[in-house]
Amino acid sequence: MTLIFTVFPFVSLIAQNEVTADTVIKNGQVINASDQVLTGYSYKNTAQITGSVSLVDPDLLTVIPSDNVGNLLQGRVSGVNVIGSGQPGEASRVRIRGFSSFLDNNPLYIIDGIPTRDISFLNPCDIERLSILKDAGSAAIYGSRASNGVMVITTRRGDEGFKVTYNMSMGMQLPGKGTKNDVLNTEEHADLQWLVYDNDGTVEVHPLYGPSTNSSPTLPPWAANTDWYDVMTNPAGIMNHNLTFSGGNEIAKFFAGFGAFKQDGIVLYTYNTRYTARINSDYNFLKNRIKAGESISISYSDKLNVPNLNENSPIQQGPYRSQSIIPVRWTGPDFAGFEHTFTEGDWGGTGIAPRLGNAPNVMADLTRNKDDYFRDLHLAGSIYLDVMIIEGLNFRSTLGGTWDKGSLSDYTYPTYERSENIPDTTLVESRAYNSDWIWTNSLVFNRQFGQHKITAIAGYEAVNYDIGRVESNLDSMEYTPTRLLSTFIKADYSFADRYLISATLRRDGCSRFSESDRYGIFPSFSAGWLMNKESFMSDLKWISTLKLRGSWGQTGNQYSLSPMNAVFQFDHSIGSSWYDLYGTFTSSVMGYYPSKIGNPDARWETSTITDIGFDAGVLNNKIEIAFDWYSKNATDLLYNPPVPATSGLGEAPYVNIASMKNTGVDMELSYRNRWNNFGLNTSFLLTAYKNKIYKITDDIEYFDSGVSRIGAFVRNEVNYPLSSFYGYKVTGLFQNQREVDNAPTQDGASPGFFRYENINQDEYINNLDRKHLGDPSPDFTYSLNFILTWKNFDLTTFFYGSKGNEIFNYNKWGTDFWSSFQGQKSKDLLYNSWTESDRSGSVPKASNSSNFSTNTQVCSYYIEDGSYIRLKNVEIGYNLPKAVLSRIHINSLRIFLQAVNLFIITDYSGLDPEIGGYDLYFGIDNGNYPNVRQLLFGIDFSL
């Protein structure tokens, strides 16, 4: 039976009463038990899968318009955590089942047989099947690239009968009120200065506001009242068009897809545009004895991104660091600033007058940078040949490759409006070329003898990637490529269609590994039991499916190991390695010194994964459950401990020495039913994991990450999870001097300032009194998807939530402490801070003091609960009735209205609790580009 895909297969198929006991539906996609799913080099019946494999319905995937598949996976599959910002073109961080490395946790994507690690070129609308291999039973066949999980994607193929489809959605993104209610307006800022004078007892003449002895401040005539968030953001358009043609006959089939995606960012001048084209074709000769085909795609993108989550992020520099008094543009009579005389039309900035701080004018910067770009052209293609040698034995060969060219232009203009100006123009223009190829040959064996069924595949693969170079106007560099040579074998055995055993073995040789340890072996075993087929289960008619399964295996990660790690590198510097060899007195001859110590003995990192789970279907598969418990042990992790002087003073190399553990639970629960004209399809997904660092080196128990003005945010320590915040625990604010005197000695302690917990119970509060304060990994994430249909209407609501993730709100360092920069401050600091007369404030006393007890330390004040639940998508659609459509010879037409990110329920005080970062330190809000509400309408049409 062939399935004709339209956007809502479920809807049309329900209408056609095609749901039966054998139908396996995952995430709303109808798949028959006999359907073939690509898991690791071969197709397998979904019922026969013994590993932990999740299938994602590509139609559910493409419901929210985005160009990046990673972004769209959030909440669609259990075991996968996706964190993304609202910046168009910024890839989300996709993590499968926790963390298995300090250095690299990105999953592997296989698209039509071509492995890649960057999926941004792929048009999500081109996807036919997406399966996620989460355990070793399913992923170990990918060997030393599979530790972080594997996503296997096949793109759409043609079918008999000509079809045209067109999908479109268009809408607006609304920036929202942003920081308007969080930060001070101009008058409030001056009032805050007066409060600080009061608190500190300072008497002076303020250069802008007048003498502090006045009862209230006066504003200078040029004072503006800028809402920086409002000024730098605008409602922004987003649209996605996708047009496909497909058709064919018995011998040849083709699919062609064209996509155009354009998203402006709410931050001015940021945008992402992408065009894709694909043509896939399949041929078979000699009655399916010989099959061949190709998949070719081309993708062109053009985007402009701004820095995110660091001090250069415009969201940080504008709303959180620029005072409201600063005008965006100068109006009024000429005025002499620090380095510039401002005249009408000039950009305003911190260079106008003293005490304005040193933030840039984000509008000026965004405007000056608007012609910067990053453009990428990506070609990907693969061809395959499948020859049936004899019945049950096929030879398969796939050859594929990609070619990518990225070009970057970054122009920096000199500034005049700042208190610290950029004097020079700089231009960086570069082009990066990268290509790779893969050739896989395999023999596939399929035989059934009575009750015994055997499938086996043996293969040989060569890969060469990172072939390329980067050239810029400053210099050029060639990449060091990596080559792989591998053999793999997989065997599946089933008895009576209910007892299943599977084993895989992969041997990977990689140029990055040490010569003595060049080949890694990655085995896996898995087994399954289709209990519902047992006779003792036949009375329990309400159980329609029950499969118990378990797996054990090992996968590896070669990406953490740099090809440069093995070599000694040398450098030179006049003061360190040059020598006046010829006795000239006033000149020296160039010499080299070892700048980096090589470790030629390093090899891959290993993950050993045990997985136990079950898939169950109840009441004719109306209710379905998939459940997994797993334990993922990552060992031989690369870490670079400091080396003794006897190794020389070069940079220390990475050695395979550390380890981490993850345990977790994935669950998918769904319910579907129909009554008369109503249909309901709901699913609930749960992802929970606990990560723990087990060992760093034999003597090193921790290392700090994420350095900032207040120290390191994170201490990665044995027995704690990755990226755990570490610092002082604030127990409250000192209420009076007596309390200060009775407390252990704490530098800077004073009424209204932080009181820290005395962890070691001694008489001093110092760096021995720090502890772990929370971590950004959630206790669990979950999603809830409802699809309700009534006659021709459909209503979808999709919630996504995260619980137990802590956020380090570093923005508060600037806004809640008067002495941190002379920048923007928060309403909290003015209205909720501790004063002598009102000691109930929760924010420390507004004071010019910068010391250990105020704003110089990492402490729990900045840490907030980031739990949230977001209505990611709500959509109402209407399918025009078949009667109407058939008159105009259209197969289906659906129109819909959609709201993305309609609302969010969270206690987090910042703009968006979904905060990414680096694996070693993330969840730190430093001007995060927020995800915002989108309102769209669209059309799905097929001919």
Partner 1 sequence: MKKKIILSIVILSLLVSSCGEKWLDIRPKDSVDQYYLANEDGINALLIGAYSMLDGVMEVGIGWEAASSNWLYGSIRGLEANKGTDSGDSWGGDPIKIYNELPTLQFLNTKWRSVYEAVSRCNGVIMVTNQALEDGTITQDKADLFLKQAKALRGWYHFDAWRMWGMIPYIDENTDSDEVTNTIDIRDKIIADLQEGTLLPDDMGAIGRFNGTVSKVLLAKALMQMYQNYDEALVLLSEVKTNRTKPDGSAIGLAPTYGEIFEIENRNGIEAVYTVQYSVNDGSGGWNGGYGEVLNFPYKSGESPGGCCGFFQPTQEFVNSFRTSGGLPLLDCSYNSDPVISDQGLAPADPFTEDTGELDPRLDWSVGRRGISYWDWGEHTGSDWVRDQSFAGPYSPKKQVYKKSQEGILTETESWTSGYTANGYRMIRFADVLLLLAECQIETDDLAGALSNINAVRARAKNPDGFVKESDGVTPAANYQVSEYPSFPDIEYARKALRMERKLELGMEGHRYFDLNRWGITVEELNRILDYEKTMPWGNRMYHMAIVGPEDINYPIPQRQIDLSNGRLKQNR
Q: Report how far residue 101's alpha carbon sits from residue 920's, in angstroms, rounded to the nearest whole number.
A: 9
> From the CB of 703, what's the least distance to partner 1, in Å?
15
Q: Report how far residue 517's alpha carbon sits from residue 278's, in angstroms, rounded to the nearest whole number.
A: 41
Asked whether the CA dihedral 868, 872, 876, 877 is positive or negative, the reply is negative
* Of 140, 33, 40, nearest in space to 457 by CA: 40
> From the CB of 471, what's the least distance to partner 1, in Å?
12
- Residue 213, classified by CB atoms within 10 Å of its CB into exposed (0-12), middle (13-18) or buried (19+), is exposed
Selected range binding partner 1 among 255-263, 582-590, 799-807, 860-868, rule: CB under 8 A: 582-590
Q: How many CA atoms lie within 13 A of 278 on its CB side?
A: 33
**Rule CB under 8 A: is residue 288 a binding residue for partner 1?**
no
> From the CB of 474, what's the least distance to partner 1, in Å?
14
> From the CB of 472, what's the least distance to partner 1, in Å?
13
Q: How many CA atoms lie within 13 A of 310 on its CB side?
A: 9
Tell me which of 460, 627, 694, 918 binds partner 1, using CB under 8 A.
460
Q: Are 292 and 298 in contact (CB under 8 A)?
A: no
Tell me which of 32, 358, 407, 588 binds partner 1, using CB under 8 A.
588
Selected range binding partner 1 among 72-80, 206-214, 297-305, 573-581, rule: CB under 8 A: 573-581
Binding mask of the shown chain, residues 688 to 707, with x at each position contacting partner 1 by CB under 8 A:
----------xx--------
- In this complex, which beta carbon is closest to partner 1, that of residue 579 or of residue 903? 579
Q: Label the pairing between strands 163-174 and 236-248.
A: antiparallel
**Rule CB under 8 A: is residue 210 a binding residue for partner 1?**
no
To the nearest 10°, the Cα dihedral for 323, 325, 327, 333?
A: -150
Q: Which residue type occupies 377? A: L
**Rule CB under 8 A: is residue 516 a binding residue for partner 1?**
no
Task: Tell me the site size for partner 1, rule CB under 8 A.
Answer: 65
DSSP E strand boundaries for 192-334: 205-206, 210-211, 236-248, 252-264, 271-285, 290-304
Selected range binding partner 1 among 127-135, 181-189, 574-582, 848-856, rule: CB under 8 A: 574-582
**Rule CB under 8 A: is residue 482 a binding residue for partner 1?**
yes
**How distant, in Å, are the alpha carbons of 15, 49, 287 from that of 56?**
22, 15, 32
**Rule CB under 8 A: is residue 445 a binding residue for partner 1?**
no
Phi, psi of 288 (to 5 degrees): 70, 10
**Rule CB under 8 A: is residue 286 a binding residue for partner 1?**
no
* Of 554, 400, 399, 565, nearest in space to 482 by CA: 565
> From the CB of 657, what's the least distance to partner 1, in Å?
12
Binding mask of the shown chain, residues 646 to 685, with x at each position contacting partner 1 by CB under 8 A:
xxxxx-----------------------------------
Tell me which of 358, 514, 577, 819 binds partner 1, using CB under 8 A.
577
Tell me which of 300, 568, 684, 918 binds partner 1, using CB under 8 A.
568
> From the CB of 385, what's the least distance to partner 1, in Å?
12
Tell me which of 1, 203, 645, 883 binds partner 1, using CB under 8 A.
645
- In this complex, which beta carbon is closest to partner 1, that of residue 477 or of residue 759? 477
**Rule CB under 8 A: is residue 17 a binding residue for partner 1?**
no
Tell me which of 20, 214, 218, 569 binds partner 1, using CB under 8 A.
569
* Of 888, 929, 891, 887, nearest in space to 910 by CA: 929
Q: Label the pairing between strands 892-900 and 725-727.
A: unpaired
* Of 325, 179, 367, nearest in space to 925 by CA: 179
- In this complex, which beta carbon is closest to partner 1, that of residue 486 or of residue 662? 486
**Rule CB under 8 A: is residue 745 a binding residue for partner 1?**
no
> From the CB of 568, what's the least distance to partner 1, in Å?
5
Selected range binding partner 1 among 145-153, 184-192, 481-489, 843-851, rule: CB under 8 A: 481-489
Q: Are 126 and 62 in contact (CB under 8 A)?
A: no
**Which ranges of 97-245 would DSSP assign to H, the alpha helix?**
136-139, 186-200, 228-232
> From the CB of 559, what's the least distance to partner 1, in Å?
16
Q: How many CA atoms lie within 13 A of 912 on its CB side?
A: 24
- In this complex, which beta carbon is closest to partner 1, that of residue 586 or of residue 840? 586
Q: Report how far residue 589's alpha carbon sits from residue 581's, in angstroms, rounded to the nearest whole number.
A: 6
Q: Report how far residue 124's alpha carbon sits from residue 278's, in angstroms, rounded to the nearest whole number.
A: 12
Tell me which of 285, 495, 570, 903 binds partner 1, using CB under 8 A.
570
> From the CB of 464, what's the least distance to partner 1, in Å?
9
**Rule CB under 8 A: is residue 406 a binding residue for partner 1?**
no
- In this complex, which beta carbon is closest to partner 1, that of residue 203 or of residue 390? 390
Q: Label the pairing between strands 163-174 and 933-942.
A: antiparallel
**Rule CB under 8 A: is residue 517 a binding residue for partner 1?**
no
Q: Report how far residue 793's alpha carbon sits from residue 813's, in angstroms, rounded to the nearest whole number.
A: 50
Tell me which of 395, 433, 684, 702 binds partner 1, using CB under 8 A.
395
Selected range binding partner 1 among 77-85, 355-363, 387-395, 856-864, rule: CB under 8 A: 387-395
Q: Which residue type occupies 263? A: Q
**Rule CB under 8 A: is residue 586 a binding residue for partner 1?**
yes
Task: Give the chain's radius of gyration (CA, Å).
Answer: 31
What six digits make up the tokens of 738?
A: 């007596």
**Rule CB under 8 A: is residue 480 a binding residue for partner 1?**
yes
Tell me which of 1, 390, 883, 888 binds partner 1, using CB under 8 A.
390
Selected range binding partner 1 among 58-66, 139-147, 288-296, 564-572, rule: CB under 8 A: 564-572
**Rule CB under 8 A: is residue 518 a binding residue for partner 1?**
yes
Selected range binding partner 1 among 446-454, 475-483, 745-753, 779-787, rule: CB under 8 A: 475-483
**Rule CB under 8 A: is residue 642 a binding residue for partner 1?**
yes
- Residue 932, classified by CB atoms within 10 Å of its CB into exposed (0-12), middle (13-18) or buried (19+), is buried
- Residue 472, classified by CB atoms within 10 Å of its CB into exposed (0-12), middle (13-18) or buried (19+), is middle
Selected range binding partner 1 among 11-19, 473-481, 542-550, 860-868, rule: CB under 8 A: 473-481
Selected range binding partner 1 among 365-373, 389-397, 706-714, 901-909, rule: CB under 8 A: 389-397
**Rule CB under 8 A: is residue 590 a binding residue for partner 1?**
yes
- In this complex, which beta carbon is closest to partner 1, that of residue 266 or of residue 510? 510
- In this complex, which beta carbon is closest to partner 1, that of residue 424 or of residue 515? 515
**Rule CB under 8 A: is residue 521 a binding residue for partner 1?**
no
Q: Report how far residue 242's alpha carbon sits from residue 1's, in angstroms, rounded to the nearest whole number.
A: 26
Q: Are 529 and 549 in contact (CB under 8 A)?
A: yes
Q: Are 94 and 70 in contact (CB under 8 A)?
A: yes
Residue 374 pairs with which residues in a beta bridge?
303, 408
> From the CB of 458, what's the least distance to partner 1, in Å?
9
- In this complex, which beta carbon is closest to partner 1, that of residue 338 or of residue 593? 593
Tell me which of 203, 644, 675, 883 binds partner 1, using CB under 8 A.
644
**How distant, in Å, are the alpha carbons of 266, 272, 898 from that of 172?**
10, 14, 11
Q: What is the DSSP letter of 317?
A: H
Q: Please name the residues in contact with 457: beta carbons below 8 A apart, sequence gap of 6 or more.
A: 41, 42, 442, 443, 444, 445, 488, 489, 490, 491
> From the CB of 582, what's the least distance to partner 1, in Å?
5
**Rule CB under 8 A: is residue 790 a binding residue for partner 1?**
no
**Rule CB under 8 A: is residue 285 a binding residue for partner 1?**
no
Residues in touch with partner 1 (CB under 8 A): 387, 389-390, 395, 441, 443, 460, 462, 477-483, 485, 487, 509-511, 515, 518, 563-564, 566-594, 598, 642-650, 698-699
